Amino acid sequence: MEFLMAFIIGILFMCATYLILSKSLLRIIIGTGLLSHGVHLLLLTMGGLKKGAAPLLGQHAESYADPLPQALILTAIVISFGVTSFLLVLAYRTYQELGTDNMEKLRGKKYE
């Protein structure tokens, strides 16, 4: 299962890198979203993909699931949501003010 997750994480990182290197501002934002999803899966996979009971006091189970990777992923999801919403508002305001989302035009280079 870890091999499949590593393959999926690699595909997400590859697609995110391709989108981040594009010229459109919206594609860059989508690429950062894909990159954050890849990081979430990476944290989950590094924590170990095992089945177990919830780590509650008073329960007697043979194995417990580690809650630390889940807490890290939950924190990372909240942070990536905030960053993505900020980038979307920034892109919207940029498009309103300048009328383009092309990164070459935003840098001031002549685009043909």
What pLDDT shows up at residue 101? 86
What pLDDT shows up at residue 66? 76
The third-level CATH classification (topology) of the domain covering 2-50+65-104 is Helix Hairpins (1.10.287)
User: Domain limits of the chain?
Assistant: 2-50+65-104
Q: Mean pLDDT for each 10-residue chunk of the chain (112 residues)? A: 92 96 93 95 84 68 76 92 95 90 79 57
What pLDDT shows up at residue 53? 65
Express each pLDDT in 37-65 by its tens digit. 999 999 988 887 777 666 666 667 667 77
From CA 78, how far away is CA 59, in angstroms rounded? 30
What pLDDT shows up at residue 77? 94
